[in-house]
Structure 1
Amino acid sequence: MDEPLEEIRDYVRTVFRDAGAHGLDHVQRVTLLCEALGAREGADMSILIPAALFHDIARPREEETGVPHEEEGARMAESFLRSIGYPDDRIAGIAHAIRAHRYSTGIAPETLEAQILSDADKLDAMGAVGIARTFMQAGERGGGIADATGHFHEKLLQLSGRMYTESARVLAQRRHAFLAAFLEALDDETDGTVTLP
């Protein structure tokens, strides 16, 4: 499987030229999480790892056209995988995992591989890296601290209770605790008062 994976990685790198909240660095972290979670949970890595590499491939297109990246990404993955002769019996599972990974999509991940990808994507939105990504995203959209803290409350603080796998739940508890502690400190520092020791 190493040769097709290298072709997939090369293709994904051509799409993500810049870093960002949903850039190549995010894809690489999600893939590493999938490798660790997949090994622990007994996933089919020939489905999981390509799905992780492709999961945000259409983010740039979504920003340009408004087409949901999970749908367009699944289509792009299917097309590319067929073009390199990837086994047909794996492609449907990869496409399903991509379609079901998004927090707000409403598509339930029906396979272990789709559940792990969903978990890994959510884990990368939590903890220290989740904090960094949230501020990056706020800046990318011209927002500030209030926009970032709104995102923490609307979405990120809800993620730990939405993990599918036991391995992800353990990681999520740690990352959630860090996120909550950071948010409490940030709220203290931005509430409009200053308390001197």
Structure 2
Amino acid sequence: MKTYIFHALIVLAITLLHHQIGASAQNFDIGLNYGMLGDNLPKPTEVVKLYQKYGIGKMRIFAPDPATLEALRNSNIELSMGIANELLPTLAASEANAERWYNGFMAPYINDVIFSYITVGNEIVPGEFAQYIVPVMRNLQTILDENNLAGIRVSTVVATSVLGTSYPPSQGNFTTDARATMIDILKFLNDTSSPLLDQCLSLFRGGGGS
């Protein structure tokens, strides 16, 4: 039963996307968040098969999960992998800590899993962990550069609530609480040609994404 429910949710998500996009949906590159909070969820291998069955080419997970990473080997599914908010202070503290994270959760899979994005934190601007985002992004970027992994983008995921003014776009601005952090984030993203991502992993701005 659990697989059928999960299967139905995927079908529903794709149906809604097709309805929104219309005839162009056949050529639309679909991605779905893979949430793992719940009871009696299907195994990652079953989830990956469902992604493949319905032509879902992109997956987002909110934190590394070894079983999912194993299931993604040679699947041709592009992965956006998050870092849990509470882990950011540790990874910001030193490049060595960030390297241990990389060695544990990326290095063993780097030849068989397509990593597109590493997302540092999830919707934590403004907040207690926001100050650690840029230091973690810098540490990870250094490690990726040292391993010749320029194709993997480092970014963060923000809620649209960081925008104090969103319309008209020419007058867009961040909220007072978020502004200083967002300016630092955008400077990093501009330097690395990486996009800023919202909670649906759609792009706020150009750069390395498309």
TM-score normalised according to structure 1 size: 0.31
Normalising by structure 2, report the TM-score.
Answer: 0.30
Name the one with the larger strand percent: 2
Q: Which has the higher contact order (CA 8 A, sep 6+)?
A: 1
